[in-house]
Structure 1
Amino acid sequence: MCKVIAVCTSEKKGTAKQMVDEANLIEEFGIEGDAHAGKWHRQVSLLGLEKIDEFNAKGGGVNFGDFGENLVISGIELTKLPIGQRFKVGETILELTQIGKQCHDKCEIFYRVGQCIMPTNGVFTRVLKGGKVKVGDEVILLENENKTLSL
């Protein structure tokens, strides 16, 4: 089963995010109070737990939110999903809009961690349906409005 392991937010771009128990996602905007929220295609960022674990196994020593990710998800290889893939996460529906990104030039994350895995392992989504997302929520891949993909 895919599920939410951590929910993280920050008030400023280019910084590590802090873990919270739950967040309110606003349709076509993003996480309420998060620096990356807005009318664009990268409203909510996701990173796989397995990628963070791999980084830490090599001596990384990072915490959830250190790469600037909003949601840490377990049980699925996010970068293998197609653009346009929809997810039901808690009360919300997210749509995958971008895989990877160009990193900020020597942002706070670089100085704290030494490298960032978001450019190669992070994915970005927009909020199609708002609502609450909390730690432990199931993540369901949607084929369309009426069908669910098997994991």
Structure 2
Amino acid sequence: MSAHVIAVSRDACHNFSKQVVSVIDIVAGLGVAGDAHSGVTVKHRSRIKVDPSQPNLRQVHLIHSELFDELSARGFLVRPGDLGENITTSGIDLLSLPRGAILRIGGSVRLQVTGLRNPCAQIDNFQSGLLAAVLDRGTDGTLIRKSGIMAIALDGGPVRSGNAIAVEFPGLPFLPLERV
């Protein structure tokens, strides 16, 4: 199955979950129009406290729907938008993408992958035990964050369910994703 968008979500307030909508508009350099995390500088509350002038590397949040299946097998019910993502995907291993990869979505949108979403304790307020379920350990003991990736908007346009997703890889060497 080819990579595609399952659902799109946004929320103008800093709520944990976002509302699923029929279409989101990506604005180059800002992110999702009408979303609380849209902007050139950081919008995440904890990052604003540290330095409000930091560049916003978290303009668009993407989660793979395959995570929802994994969580369902562990007794959790998670649907698109529930974990605060803007774009829910299928058929693409988001977590294995290198930093700097470009995601082409629909006819005009280009998002550049900046890193991993670092899940916070708020996720347990949504469903108790969910934080532990979206974290894992590699065979070498390294922490694996499974709650999606973050990106910046290079080129804008509409994104809706069903849009195809293509990946353009950066030049070698590939840099692994780190939390942003």
Report if TM-score (shorter chain) is over 0.5. Answer: yes
Matched with 1:58 is 74
The amino acid of 1:8's aligned partner reads S
% identical equivalent positions: 33
1:100 aligns with 2:121: no
Contact 1:62–1:113 under 8 Å retained in 2:
no
| Correspondences of 1:46-85 after superposition (within 5 Å) | 46-85=62-101
TM-score (norm 1): 0.86
Matched with 1:112 is 126
Contact 2:98–2:169 under 8 Å retained in 1:
no
The secondary structure found in structure 1 opposite 2:150 is: strand
| Correspondences of 1:106-145 after superposition (within 5 Å) | 107=122, 109-114=123-128, 115-116=130-131, 117=134, 120-121=145-146, 122-143=148-169
Distance in 2, matches of 1:110 and 1:12, equals 20
Unmatched segments (≥5 aa) in structure 2: 41-55, 136-143, 171-180
Matched with 2:175 is none
Matched with 2:10 is 9
Deviation at 1:13, TM superposition (A): 2.2
The secondary structure found in structure 1 opposite 2:89 is: strand
The secondary structure found in structure 1 opposite 2:78 is: coil
The amino acid of 1:63's aligned partner reads R
Larger radius of gyration: 2
Contact 1:93–1:129 under 8 Å retained in 2:
yes
Structure 1 outlier segments of 4+, above 3 Å: 116-119
The secondary structure found in structure 2 opposite 1:35 is: coil
The amino acid of 1:134's aligned partner reads R
The secondary structure found in structure 2 opposite 1:68 is: coil
Distance in 2, matches of 1:54 and 1:2, equals 18
Q: Deviations over 1:25-79 (max 9, x none)?
A: 0001010011111111110001111111111121101221111111111111111
Matched with 1:41 is 57
Deviation at 1:11, TM superposition (A): 1.8
Unmatched segments (≥5 aa) in structure 1: 145-151
The amino acid of 2:152's aligned partner reads R
Contact 2:25–2:157 under 8 Å retained in 1:
yes
